[in-house]
Amino acid sequence: MNKELTTIDWQKLARYGLLWGVAAVYVSVIGMIESFSGRSIINNTLTLAQVLLFIPPIAAGYMIVNRKEIMPQDRNSVLMGGAAVGAISSAWVVLLIIVQGAIPGIRNVFINVSPALIEVLTFGLGFAGVFIYVAVTAVLGLIGASVHLLPDRGRRAVYNVVLTLLIAGAFGEIFTQVLRPLVGNVVVRALYTGGALNLVAAVVLVAIAGGLGWYRQENQARYEAFRGEIGTPRQKQVYQYQVAIGIILLLILPWIVGRFLSDVMVTIGLFIMMGLGLNIAIGMAGLLDLGYVTNYAVGAYILGILTTVPPDGSGYGFSFWIILPLCLFGAMSIGFVFGLPVLRMRGDYLAIATLGFGEIIRILAISEWLEPLAGGAQGVLYIPKPEIFGISFSNPQQLYYVVFAGCALVLYVSWRLNNSRTGRQWMAMREDEDVAQAMGINLVRTKLLAFTISAAAGGLAGGMFAAKLGTIFPTSFNILVSINVLSLIIVGGIGSIPGVIVGAIFLIGTPELLREFVEYRLLIYGAVLVWMMLARPEGLIPSAVRKRELKSGVDSL
C-alpha cells in the first residue's frame, strides 16, 4: 500500500463522505438541530444549529486530505476531493428531506422530524433549499480541505477566527450582560442584538482574530525580545506581577460577571475540587475510582444534617465553619473504610467495586433505616447559608469566595503532593505494584492514603454544595456525578492539575451556559470522549509524565 495515488479513489471518498453524513442526519433526527436553531451566532446569518450541521462537511473535507490511501496530495485533488466529500456528506439529509415530504407519517417514528427541522435544513426555502444545502456543504468541504493548503500562519488565523466567532456568538447573552455595565449600552448594542452578534461586529471580530493569528509569530518574537532586554531578575518580577494580577482578577471576577455567571463559576469550582481529588486517586495513584460521588454525598449530608435549622427547631444548627472540616474528615473516614476491602483489587475489579460504593451511599441516603437522620427521599431542607462575623455568604457572588478558598486549598495540596515523596510512592505503585513493594513501599498504607486524601476533596465540595443549595436530595448523588468528574479529568488530561481546571470549565461550564446542551449532555460527553481518545488521548493539557509516555511509545495503562 505504499504506492502513491495519482487520482482520487472515488469509491472510498464517497464512502467516507456518507459516513460523515450520518452524523448530520443523526443530530437532526434526535432533535438537536431544532433545539439549537434558537440560538443565533450571528444575527440573521448563522445559528448554532447551522454550525452543528456544518461540522460534518468541514470535518470530512479537512480530514480526508490526510487519507493518503484515498486521494493524492496535489492542490487540485485536494480542492476537488474536499468539495466532493462535502457534497456527498449531505446525501442523508437530502434523503431525509425527500422522505419526509413523501411520507407524512414519518413523524410517528421519528418524532423530531418536524416542519421546524425541515425549515432549518432547507434554509426556509422549501424544496429548492435542498440544492442550496448541497451547494453549501460542497463549499464547506472545499473550505475544510483547503485549510491544508494555507501556510502555517494562515491556518492559525483560521482557527482563531472560528474559535472567536463561536465563543463570542454562542455565549452572546452572557457577554451582553457582562459587558453592559463595563463598556456601556451603546457599545453592547453595536456588538449584539438579542444575544447574537451583529454582522458588522462579526466582521470586525473576524478581522481582529484573524490578524492576531496571522501576526502571532511576530508578536511572540517581540515579546521574547522584550523579555530578553529586561533581564532575568526583572523577568521574575514581571511574572510575579502577572500572577498577582491574575489572582486579583479572580477575586473581583464575581462582581464583574454578575450573579448568574458567579453561580456557574461556583458549580465549576465544586467540580474543580472534586476533579483534583479524584485526580489524586486516578492520576497520581492509578486507582480507578468510579464511585467518587460517595465522598460528595458524605460531605453534603454531614453538613446538611448538622447545620440544618428547620422551623420547628429540631435541627442541630451548628455553624457551617465548624462542620466543614467535619465533612472533610467524614469523607476521609469513609474513603479509608471503603479502601480496606478493595486493597487487593486492581484495575477493572477496583472500578466495579467502587462503582458499587457509589450506589450503596445513594441507597443508604434514601433508605428508611436512615430516614430519621437523612430524611429519606425528602432529603435535608433548611440548610442555612454560611455566615461569619456578621457577613453572610448567601448569594452566588459571595459563595464564590468560599468555593474559591476551597479550590485554592485543594490545588495547593495537590500540587505539593505531586512533587512529594508520597507522590513518587503513588507513581511507583501506579506503574507496578510488585516492584514498588520490592522498593520498600508499603502498598497497604500507600493505597489507603490515596483513597483517604482523594476523598477529602470530595467531602469538602459536598459540604459547600449543600450550603449552596440549601436543600439536598438523594437524587443529586447519582452515578452521573462520578461520571462527570471522571470525564473532566480525562478531557483535561489524566494526572494534570491545570488539565482538571480546563476540563471542569469546559465540561461543566458549557452545559450550564448553553441550556440547549443540557438535554444532550451525555451525548456530547460521549462524543467528546471518543474524539479525545482518538485524537488526543493525553488530554487537553497533558501532564508532563503522560506526554513523555505517549511520545516515547511506551504503552500506557
Contact positions vs another protein (CB under 8 A): 424-425, 427-428, 431-432, 434-443, 545, 548-549, 552-554, 556
Task: Identify whether the C-beta of residue 264 lies closer than 8 Å to the C-beta of residue 512.
Answer: yes
CB of 420 to another protein, least distance (A): 13
d(CA 378, CA 305): 13
CB of 484 to another protein, least distance (A): 28
Question: 154 or 423, CB closer to another protein?
Answer: 423
CB of 86 to another protein, least distance (A): 42
Closest by CA position to 320, among listed 336, 340, 299: 299
Question: 6 or 552, CB closer to another protein?
Answer: 552
Beta-strand pair 46-47/196-197: unpaired
Residue 33 main-chain phi, psi, to 5 deg? -60, -45
CB of 284 to another protein, least distance (A): 13
Task: Identify whether the C-beta of residue 135 lies closer than 8 Å to the C-beta of residue 152.
Answer: no
Closest by CA position to 258, among listed 467, 400, 466, 391: 400
CB of 278 to another protein, least distance (A): 21
CB of 447 to another protein, least distance (A): 12
Beta-strand pair 192-193/387-388: unpaired
Question: 387 or 432, CB closer to another protein?
Answer: 432
CB of 446 to another protein, least distance (A): 9
CB of 549 to another protein, least distance (A): 5
- DSSP structural state of residue 380: B
Question: 485 or 494, CB closer to another protein?
Answer: 494
d(CA 513, CA 258): 13
d(CA 197, CA 28): 24
Q: CA separation (Å) from 13 to 17, 81, 87, 136?
A: 6, 8, 11, 18
CB atoms within 10 A of CB 107: 13
Question: 362 or 447, CB closer to another protein?
Answer: 447
Question: 9 or 549, CB closer to another protein?
Answer: 549
d(CA 213, CA 315): 59
Question: 145 or 436, CB closer to another protein?
Answer: 436
CB of 342 to another protein, least distance (A): 19
CB atoms within 10 A of CB 114: 14
d(CA 23, CA 523): 12
d(CA 472, CA 440): 45
Question: 229 or 555, CB closer to another protein?
Answer: 555
CB of 383 to another protein, least distance (A): 45
CB of 430 to another protein, least distance (A): 9
CB of 439 to another protein, least distance (A): 5
> Cell for 407?
479550590
Burial class of residue 390 (count of CB atoms within 10 Å of its CB; 0-12, 13-18, 19+): exposed
Q: How many CA atoms lie within 13 A of 499 on its CB side?
A: 28
Question: 204 or 550, CB closer to another protein?
Answer: 550
Question: 72 or 423, CB closer to another protein?
Answer: 423
Question: 220 or 442, CB closer to another protein?
Answer: 442
What is the strand order of the sheet 40-42 is part of?
Answer: 46-47, 40-42, 196-197, 192-193
Burial class of residue 192 (count of CB atoms within 10 Å of its CB; 0-12, 13-18, 19+): buried
Question: 230 or 435, CB closer to another protein?
Answer: 435
**What is the DSSP secondary-structure string of 487-509?**
HHHHHH-TT-HHHHHHHHIIIII
Q: How many CA atoms lie within 13 A of 173 on its CB side?
A: 9
CB of 555 to another protein, least distance (A): 8
d(CA 418, CA 411): 11
**Residues 525, 361, 341, 299, Cα dihedral to 10°:** 90
